[in-house]
Amino acid sequence: MRLLFRFVVLPLLVLWVVRILLRSIFGGMNTQVAPKQVRPVPTTASAGGELKKDPVCGTYVSADTSVTKRINGQTVHFCSPACRDKYRAAS
């Protein structure tokens, strides 16, 4: 019985203590690090001034100021109404 205790119960006890220690260390780290890791994704995705290519003349235009048209569920960006009309005539 003493051997059983030494090779089964004691290692399990040590593992249990180590797991609690690790959880308290990494658990404390996660609460400090997590907010910094989560935030950059939405801010970069929603940032204005994204450049879109005009498919007619190849000019890069800002998504905020461009002339847009929804074609087959996709928003296409143009530098001017003239390019938009040309694209409509070509397709």
Total interface residues for Zn ion by CB under 5 A: 6
Q: Give start and end residues of each alpha helix (H) in 1-91.
A: 2-4, 10-38, 40-45, 81-90
The only residue of 54, 66, 77, 84 in contact with Zn ion, by rule CB under 5 A: 54
Closest to Zn ion by CB, 6 or 82: 82
Closest to Zn ion by CB, 56 or 76: 56
The only residue of 50, 57, 67, 85 in contact with Zn ion, by rule CB under 5 A: 57
CA 29 to CA 4: how far, in whole Å? 37
Taking alpha carbons only, the member of 74, 82, 30, 35 closest to residue 56 is 82
Is 79 a binder of Zn ion (CB under 5 A)?
Answer: yes
CB of 72 to Zn ion, least distance (A): 20
Taking alpha carbons only, the member of 46, 82, 81 closest to residue 64 is 46
The only residue of 52, 76, 83, 84 in contact with Zn ion, by rule CB under 5 A: 83
